[in-house]
Amino acid sequence: MSGNTVTRADLSEAVYQEVGLSRNESSELVESVLSIIADSLVSGENVKISSFGSFAVRQKSGRMGRNPKTGEEVPIGPRRVLVFRPSQVLKSVVANLD
């Protein structure tokens, strides 16, 4: 893996190394999985990946916000936001990196 960010190319390369599919097949597999996750979230479904975490779309209601520079109140409209909740397994793995 390169640098501090894992990219699609890094995921494809990892699948290529671990599973032994061709590079093209590995890339298609990664794209397919990411597409299924995105499509599920768009349709309002939650996505749970065992020992990793869950993704969900939450509806936030409108509210009044404030421009920090001018202090002017600005309305913020209702919107959908993506939330991720890591599993206990992932939390413990990350916590024990010391």
For residues 15 and 30, what is the distance between their CA atoms, to the nearest angstrom?
Answer: 8
Structural domain spans, the chain: 1-45
Does residue 1 surpass a pLDDT of 80? Answer: no
Distance CA 18, CA 53 (A): 22
Please give the single-letter amino acid code of residue 46. N
pLDDT number for residue 19: 92
Instruction: For the domain made up of 1-45, give the CATH fold.
Output: HU Protein; Chain A (4.10.520)
Q: What angle do helix axes 23-42 and 8-19 make, rounded to 10 degrees?
A: 120
pLDDT tens per residue across span 38-84: 999 999 999 999 999 999 999 999 999 999 999 999 999 999 999 99
The closest alpha carbon to 47, from 84, 96, 72, 10, belongs to 84
**Average predicted confidence (pLDDT) for the chain:** 93
